Amino acid sequence: MEKHSKIYVAGHRGMVGSAIYRKLQKEGYTNLVVKTSEQLDLRNQQVVADFFANEKPEYVFLAAAKVGGIVANNTYRADFLYENLAIQNNVIHSAYVNEVKKLMFLGSSCIYPKLAPQPLKEDYLLTGLLEETNEPYAIAKIAGIKMCDAYRAQYGCDFISVMPTNLYGYNDNYHPQNSHVLPALIRKFDEAKKNGSKEVVIWGSGTPMREFLFADDLANACYFLMQTYSEPNLINIGTGEDLTIKDLALLIKKVVGFEGELTFDASKPDGTPRKLMDVSKLHALGWRHQIELEEGLKLAYQDYLSKI
């Protein structure tokens, strides 16, 4: 990518898209195209086709998606499937029609089978049943990977797919019902601290293992891969390290400064028992994460305090 190349970042107001946008700005790219969802509804095929025909972007980071935690995924199953398929179909096809030089599609670690061996290798895709609670979202993302591969095979498009692990960071979603586990815990501990609560109740048993990557590290990886990687299938982006939800809660408790007790509500769902990415493919290319979890949590908590 040249510094003056026209680059479209889809989903630039989300946590991932905004991190990619900041990274490109920092690296000196001057011709960045962004549109809010009000300005450009990516679910609308004609609107997307017109946008690509008029703007003719050379590079596309497809970070736009309908996202949420267990509750949101399980509640809005039709919306998660339909809207994500529509966004991907419209952007990927228009990128082909308008001869985009390279497109990066961002998926999610939930594409892997619920009971796949750990850590999750790229070739475990479609080898077993998905986690039921977020199956519609996962199916949409798997379709996106296969679509990039199909356009590469049939038309020679340089479309690549990257699968980030669980993310957190600036511009995260702290909604009480629709957020992911890490931002939800930051909010819970902060509110408990401010209210002088004696305890914080955490969903599930606390035993599931999770891996977390700071979104700015993901943006660095995406920038690196956009310039060095061109293959079918997908590549994992993560840290290769995980911890229990209980240990995560203890770490967030420490960062927030909450003095009370932790209680686990085992009647609530745990989700997948473990989701650790195998990042040996990425490490072999020469990229590793830089921001460790405790440091990242401090940055995320300051961002939360500045916004909420």
**Binding site: residue ranges?**
11-17, 106-109, 141, 164-167, 180, 188, 203, 210, 270
What is the C-alpha separation between 226 and 160, in angstroms, rounded? 8
**Which residues lie closer than 8 Å to 264 by C-beta, 6 or more apart?**
201, 202, 203, 204, 205, 206, 246
Contact 67, 42 (CB under 8 A): no
Q: Which of 8, 59, 137, 170 is catalytic?
A: 137
Token look-up 């997307």 returns 48
Query: Is 241 in a helix, a strand, or coil?
Result: coil
Q: Quick one: DSSP state of residue 16?
A: H
Annotated binding site for substrate: 188, 203, 210, 270
Q: Report CA 259 to chain centroid distance, whole Å.
A: 31
Beta-sheet pairing, 209-210 with 243-244: antiparallel
Amino acid letter at 3?
Answer: K
Alpha carbons within 13 A on the beta-carbon side of 14: 18
Token look-up 């339909």 returns 82
Catalytic status, residue 137: yes
Q: Which residues are catalytic?
A: 137
